[in-house]
Amino acid sequence: MIAGVKIKKLKVMPDERGHLMEMLRCDDDLFQKFGQIYMTTTYPGVVKAWHLHTRQTDNIVCVRGMIKLVLFDPREDSPTHGEVEQIFLGIHNPLLVQVPPQVYHGWMCISPEEAYMVNCPTEPYNPDEPDEVRLDPHVNSIPYDWSRKDG
């Protein structure tokens, strides 16, 4: 696993009315601080990548559908420098993935329906000074191919 990345297995509590799933609590070991919370969606087969934050930690949960979240560690001083990790999360594998600053990440919707992600980053978004570095999802130096692997 890439250094600094943490995964929390989420507990789903169903009853006759529906279900409840806690994602992040202020008394969780991995909780740092609250910046904002937002929801984003991705259509089937679409890749939303690559980006990293210089200061912000992301706490990502896929609450509907399934995604393939991919991480790349470009940090020269990291014990996992140059490593790529992929994590499948969503309705069939409810996880919170905490992505530390300076780690590139992105995802692809792998479900037949639109995927819904909730993120609780440690910093609020500042449109005048966005804390992000972006790369093209397909043309870059990251050793990862987003195509589906059949077989």
Give per-residue pLDDT as tens, 90-110. Answer: 999 999 999 999 999 999 999
Average pLDDT over residues 44-58: 97
pLDDT exceeds 90 at position 148:
no
Best CATH choice for the domain 6-134 from the list 3.40.50.620, 1.10.3860.10, 3.40.190.170, 2.60.120.10: 2.60.120.10
30 has a pLDDT exceeding 90: yes
CB atoms within 10 A of CB 128: 4
Please give the mean pLDDT across all residues of the chain: 97
Token pair, residue 106, equals 């992105």
* Predicted local confidence at residue 121, as pLDDT: 98
Q: Is the pLDDT of residue 151 over 90?
A: no
Q: In the predicted model, is pLDDT for residue 2 greater than 90?
A: yes
Q: CA separation (Å) from 13 to 7, 8, 24, 61, 128?
A: 19, 16, 15, 16, 41
Q: Are 91 and 21 in contact (CB under 8 A)?
A: no
